Amino acid sequence: MTNSKTYETEVLVIGGGVTGTGVMRDLALRGIHCLLIDRKDLNAGASGGNHGLLHSGGRYVANDTETAAECAREAAIVKRVAADCIDPCGGLFVAVASDDPDYVERFPNHCAEAGIDCESLTPAEAREREPALSDGVFAAYAVPDATVDPFHITLGNVNHAQELNNSSYLPHTEAVGFDIEGGIITAALCRDNRSSDTVRIVAKQVINAAGAWAMRVARLAGCEDVELLYAKGTLIISNSRLTRGVVNRLRPPGDGDILVPGGTVSLLGTTSDTVDDPDGVRPTPEEAERNLREGATMLPGLADTRFIRAFSGVRPLLQSADAGRGGAPAAASGCSITRIRVLPTSPHWPEANSPPTGSWPRRRSIWSPGASRIPSPAARRPNHCRRGTPFVGPSPDSRPATGISGTIPQT
């Protein structure tokens, strides 16, 4: 026998990743009560299935100056707002013999155009910073990359929202439909995936932050404007921390071209392969080998490193609405389709917003404008609702470890 529960809130946020929890916190800072739900749990999607790189923007400078510049600005804000979640380890972009010298030569100018700090290093200076680099490195640049603990920052977002105005979170709660009256969503019909109980949530506004599942949620409300391409990415994890900072391959983005330190381990990735369904993705031996083969070009010792785990996530990539309806096919590579916010319109979606996803630094710039669209009387807005308000983390002693516990075996 199933039971039925009803909740009322000003704003319902669907999706418990970094975007959804960031919206939740931003709304709470504005004095707006919200209810956050997720079909599984916090960071169950791409927010938990990533390498935790807080991009300097260097990865995007050659093809998208605007995105690169936004990454640089937003990374600086995230470092200030959530300092306890960040390891400001820095990063290198390095080129090896097979990389394009023209691409390498243009890199510092591209960084300058995007406002990204970029220091040219000799190969010897780069190897002094990261001794495991290949002897074949012929160019290197230092950039302000960092790493972020995605679980710490997501828990901190929820914790801060709860402390600010008692906003709440329901895990394992999946939206399965909407009540629509006069073209307006009046309630979300949900299911508790543990008990199978029916949950009805009455809200004045609905925000769809469901990431790879945003298109499904949008369809439930009759919105056809969200068209997503699913790019599966696989990463592998070493048994120790292998480098002091992030090491990026200085070439157009591809497989196995970033090694990211994450506390006491390192993560190598990522691949990019189009899949039809974001559910149930698993890493394959071929994907792990592809990462290792490419990564060993810039860090040869990876070939002798012990890797203890592989995992996969799905990046939801926004494509034109025509791409899924007989229009021009979208490119398979996640690097050629911009992950941007979208605010769709539909007969049944006038009181809802849908920001699908973005790279780590850009997620704050996605959730904050989305929250800004929610009406709020000025009298209810706390004085501390401003750009860069530090958040209240889940625990004062949960700062991620940053010490180097191991090194790549030298060849």
Each residue of 305-314: pLDDT tens digit?
999 999 999 9
Q: What is the C-alpha separation between 284 and 229, in angstroms, rounded?
A: 20
Predicted pLDDT of residue 318? 84
Q: What percent of the chain has pLDDT over 70?
A: 77
Predicted pLDDT of residue 340? 34
Write down the architecture of domain 4-380 according to CATH.
Answer: 3-Layer(bba) Sandwich (3.50)
Predicted pLDDT of residue 3? 87
Predicted pLDDT of residue 1? 63
How far from each other are the two terminal CA atoms of the chain, in whole angstroms? 64
Q: What is the C-alpha separation between 258 and 247, in angstroms, rounded?
A: 6
Query: Which residues contact residue 256 at a Cβ distance below 8 angstroms, ignoring those fewer than 6 apart?
Result: 268, 269, 270, 271, 290, 291, 292, 293, 294, 295
DSSP 3-state of 293: helix
Q: What is the pTM of this model?
A: 0.83
Predicted pLDDT of residue 183? 87
Predicted pLDDT of residue 34? 97
Q: Confirm if 152 and 43 have CB atoms less than 8 A apart.
A: no
Residues of the chain whose pLDDT is less than 70? 1, 320-388, 391-411
Beta bridge partners of residue 141, listed in sequence order: 93, 120
Domain boundaries, the chain: 4-380
Tens-place pLDDT, residues 328-369: 334 444 333 333 333 333 334 334 455 544 554 545 555 455
Predicted pLDDT of residue 401? 34
DSSP 3-state of 337: coil
